[in-house]
Amino acid sequence: MDPTRFTKIDDTAWKIEPTGDMRVPGIIYADEELICGMDDKVYEQTANVATLPGIVKGSFAMPDAHWGYGFPIGGVAAFDPDHGGVVSAGGVGFDVSCGVRTMLTALSVSDIRSVQKPLADALFAAVPAGVGSKGTITLDSEQMDAMLHGGARWAVERGWGEAHDLDRIEEHGEMAGADPGCVSDRAKKRQRREMGTLGSGNHYLEVQAVEEIFDCGVANDFGLKQGQVIVTIHCGSRGLGHQIGTEFLRDMLPAAAKFGIKLPDRELACAPINSEIGTRYLGAMRSAINCALANREIIGHFARQVFTRFFPECDLQLMFDVSHNTCKVETHTIDGEPHKLFVHRKGATRAFGPGHPDLPPALQDSGQPVLIGGSMGTGSYVLTGTAMSEEKAFSSACHGAGRAMSRHAALKKWSGRQIVDDLAERGILIRSPSQRGVAEEAPGAYKDVTAVVLAAEHAGLARRVARLSPLVCIKG
């Protein structure tokens, strides 16, 4: 992407001036090298989002931004329901509430090295992964609706997790406003046997080592120590969320025309927040958030069981669980006044700063953990939210490295078997049901996660706390 197309605000903020039907500017947070590496579609999609009714302040894109469906992945936009604001299924994405959970152990890297191969095999056996993967849990209609209402709390009440986990989960593990009646029978059928499964694509369960600490005080608040082993899970609402996204994008297209909404791209299909279809989508989308929260809670429970077999005294404690791909009602300050806004984050993570009332007491001083996944052969980061992020992008930050290459292009360039062998030589064990999937998720297919994180930090979106390196990766 040509940086001269923008008005440069500073070294990590680039402005698309409002033209045509744009109601607000577009702002992309990235350094110049990341901007140059982005596809022109990121510019186009960021500008297109800025044309939607009721958008407030700006259309934002994070440093990991890349082309998506309607919104760019890494896109953030907030809408005011009192000024014609809309909700867009494309602004949430197909994998509703895909997110990241990090669990702490008291183990060291040497502890893992002594059992690395059997541990990898056991985790792979315990957590189904891959396209269409099915688990050991089967839900009937009544259980399905209870799960869609209760989220992680539902899972804990049934023995798949621990009650104290709920204090460290976004929304305390249970998204309010969920309405399972707005979820189609087809979506529920797809999810009937998918609880406790990773799915495919870039989803993973990873055993990691804390490689470097950047902020000792915040790391201590989070429970992170140099050389410590942690477990990170990245997945979402599986087939149910995908079906909800598919159905409502289809239904929102004629709805947008009915309400006189001019769309620069049909993929931005949307409806007024207060409309009948907008209300139905929110009820279904919130149900999918609960599905994802329950799914990660169950996978975390399975991981605990495996670790206990190898290390009987091991107790995996949840550090935090946060979603991307959501639309949340949040209060933000606009022109000095608080407003309740519907904040779309697609491939972007909530990043509340210190003192935010929605954070648990133990995190009030440090801010919210922001969990940034890299690629399976590089590393990941833990960041913390900043007070400045509220002003920058409605308390939002990047969510990962972001793709630099399409899956098709990655398949042409890399062999899954070779990637597995190369990483094994570096002490990183990969377990996946699909060599094709490994090739599609090759480390080289992603942006440099360190460059993305540094850009986010310099932009004031979030601040580095720790860098993590992979030991074992169960890949979907």
At 66-82, the pLDDT tens digits run 999 999 999 999 999 99
pTM of the model: 0.97
Does the pLDDT at position 148 exceed 90? yes
Can you give the pLDDT at residue 132? 83
CA distance 57 to 54: 10
First CA to last CA distance, the chain: 31
Above pLDDT 70, what percent of the chain?
100
Task: Kindly report the backbone phi and psi dihedral angles of residue 396, in degrees, each rounded to the nearest multiple of 5, phi listed first.
Answer: -130, 155
pLDDT grade, residue 361 (50/70/90)? Answer: very high
CA distance 396 to 398: 7
Residue keyed to tokens 């309607």:
70
At 255-288, the pLDDT tens digits run 999 999 999 999 999 999 999 999 999 999 999 9
User: Measuring CA to CA, how many Å separate 409 from each of 69, 203, 405?
Assistant: 19, 19, 6
Residues 6+ apart with CB under 8 A from 421: none
φ/ψ region of 414 (left if φ > 0, alpha if ψ in -120 to 50, else beta) reads beta
At 302-316, the pLDDT tens digits run 999 999 999 999 999
Q: Domains plus CATH for the chain? A: 3-475 (3.90.1860.10)
Does the pLDDT at position 394 exceed 90? yes
The DSSP output letter for 461 is S
Catalytic annotation, pick one of 66, 203, 234, 399: 399
Please state the rounded mean pLDDT for residues 53-61: 98
Please state the rounded mean pLDDT for residues 467-472: 98
**Residue 399 annotated to the active site:** yes
Please state the rounded mean pLDDT for residues 35-51: 97
* Segment among 107-116, 219-228, 302-311, 429-438 with least mean pLDDT: 429-438
At 181-223, the pLDDT tens digits run 999 999 999 999 999 999 998 899 999 999 999 999 999 999 9
Task: Kindly report the backbone phi and psi dihedral angles of residue 299, in degrees, each rounded to the nearest multiple of 5, phi listed first.
Answer: -60, -40
Does the pLDDT at position 130 exceed 90? no
CA distance 186 to 63: 36
- The helix, strand and coil proportions of the chain, stated in percent and rounded to the nearest 5, come to 40, 25, 35
pLDDT grade, residue 375 (50/70/90)? Answer: confident
Angle between helices 276-310 and 238-258 (to 10 degrees): 160
pLDDT grade, residue 242 (50/70/90)? Answer: very high
The DSSP output letter for 403 is B
Does the pLDDT at position 476 exceed 90? no
Does the pLDDT at position 418 exceed 90? yes
Structural Rg of the chain based on CA atoms: 21
